[in-house]
Amino acid sequence: MVAQIKVAGLWKIFGARPERALQPEYAAKSRAEIQAELGLVVGLRDVSFSVDRGQIFVVMGLSGSGKSTLVRCLIRLTEATKGQVYFDGEDICTYSSAQLTQFRRQKIAMVFQHFGLLPHRRVLDNVAYGLEIQGMGKAARYRAATEAIETVGLKGWEHYYPREMSGGMQQRVGIARALAVNPDVLLMDEPFSGLDPLIRREIQDELLSLQTALHKTIVFITHDLNEALKLGDRIAIMRDGQIIQEGSPEEIVTLPSDDYVTEFVQDVSRSKVIQAQAIMQEPSLVVYERQGPRVALHTMQSHSVGAAFLIGRDFTLRGIITQEQAAALSSQHQESLEDAPITPAMTTTPETYIEEIIPLAAQTEYPIAVVAENGSLLGEIRRGVLLTGLSAGSEEG
């Protein structure tokens, strides 16, 4: 992966002569102490992170944690006191006014919590607004806007006004407007927090679906842990202007860095964040079609197992063959397993979450096969390991 965004040593201090808070004698002092002694408010404190191209990076924190200040510094709506913000290797903190304007118009787009739609403009003109600012001709910008409107599932609503639409639909218009300019990066500042829970979940699902198709680099701001865990490839948790933990959803839930994060995640079900690849093990036993039923039977008997995964000549998983099935084929003097009647295997992908695997385990007495996109067998999940993953996130079975 290539980092598209890199933030290094970013500080934002509000108040007169903010450089005072950067002096060595204040390095170990808390935000409250600095405010009490200097009358300065530390909005961001030595924040560093990177976001890979095509990744959803979620910044999560409670009110006052610094997350909104951070996203505004990323686009220089708020000027940082110290530090660098790199996009594709260029520090935008050094940009001139003209360079910054071009960057905002062509490289990045922002989706706001309160939609920011122009009430006197139709959906089509709202979505085309960014392209209009860029100077694109009417026909071309309408074509791009129409495509973006279709992308977010609002085909047929082009000529309606925002007031004629629900909150969820208005938010889709906001996303379409951002997508229309085809930005490299999307910044989303608590875009779904004003929506009803059901609509919010639907829009989250739609964003994930869009991301599968578009592969945009997204920085997503939220105060909702469940939203962060659902959307984020990586998550940064902020408190008092600092990032106190950064990691994958699984790492945040299973390996909290301190008591603050532990309290945040204590009610989160591990089944929603732990994936198959974290708990799968090497298959207990595999046999191959080319070996024939007698070899398959001997292999299972010598390992004292009642069944094994059957691998085809193309090295993909065919299913499960039992001792009884192999013995029956052997007694019929069958030489090949290619057309053998076998037991279908329950399969899952490495990225599937435990909560989706549990119903599969209830439907079979055999381990669940973890397979790659090409059908090859990567590992297995046994019931005992599944329960261990739920209780402790351990890989031991």
pLDDT digits 0-9 by tens, 261-271: 998 888 787 78
Q: Which residue ranges make up each domain of the chain?
A: 3-107+183-268, 277-392
Tell me which amino acid residue 115 is.
F
Q: Which residue has the higher pLDDT, 2 or 316?
A: 316
From CA 103, how far away is CA 388, in angstroms rounded?
49
**317 phi, psi to nearest 5 deg:** -75, 125
Model pLDDT, residue 41: 96
| pLDDT mean over 196-209 | 86
Radius of gyration of the chain (CA): 27
| pLDDT mean over 338-361 | 89
From CA 238, how far away is CA 244, in angstroms rounded?
6
Strand duo 317-322 + 307-311: pairing: antiparallel
Model pLDDT, residue 166: 87
Q: Which of 184, 253, 189, 256 is nearest to 221 (CA)?
A: 189
Q: Which of 184, 192, 191, 187 is nearest to 216 (CA)?
A: 184
Model pLDDT, residue 386: 78
- The answer to whether residue 388 scores a pLDDT higher than 90 is no
- Contacts of 60 by beta carbon, 8 Å cutoff, 6+ apart: 67, 221, 222, 223, 224, 225, 228, 235, 236, 237, 238
Task: Indicate the pLDDT class of residue 2, thresholds 50, 70 and 90.
Answer: confident
Using the CB atoms, write b or e for 98-134: b if 16+ within 10 Å: eeeeebbbebbbbbebebebeeeebbbbbbbbbbeee
Model pLDDT, residue 320: 95
Q: Which of 323, 324, 56, 43 is nearest to 188 (CA)?
A: 56
pLDDT digits 0-9 by tens, 285-314: 999 988 889 999 999 999 999 999 999 988
| pLDDT mean over 85-90 | 96
From CA 45, how far away is CA 165, in angstroms rounded?
41
- The answer to whether residue 201 scores a pLDDT higher than 90 is no
Q: Read out DSSP for 86-134?
A: EETTEEGGG--HHHHHHHHHHTEEEE-TT----TTS-HHHHHTHHHHHH
Residue whose pair of structure tokens reads 């994930």 in the numeric block: 208
CA 143-121-163 angle, to 5 degrees, is 120
pLDDT digits 0-9 by tens, 230-263: 999 999 999 999 999 999 998 998 889 999 999 8
Mean pLDDT for the chain?
90
DSSP assigned state of 26:
G
| pLDDT mean over 144-163 | 92
284, with CB counted inside 10 A (0-12, 13-18, 19+), is middle
CATH number listed for the domain at residues 3-107+183-268: 3.40.50.300
Q: Is-same-fold flag (3-107+183-268; 277-392)?
A: no
The CATH fold assigned to 277-392 is: CBS-domain (3.10.580)
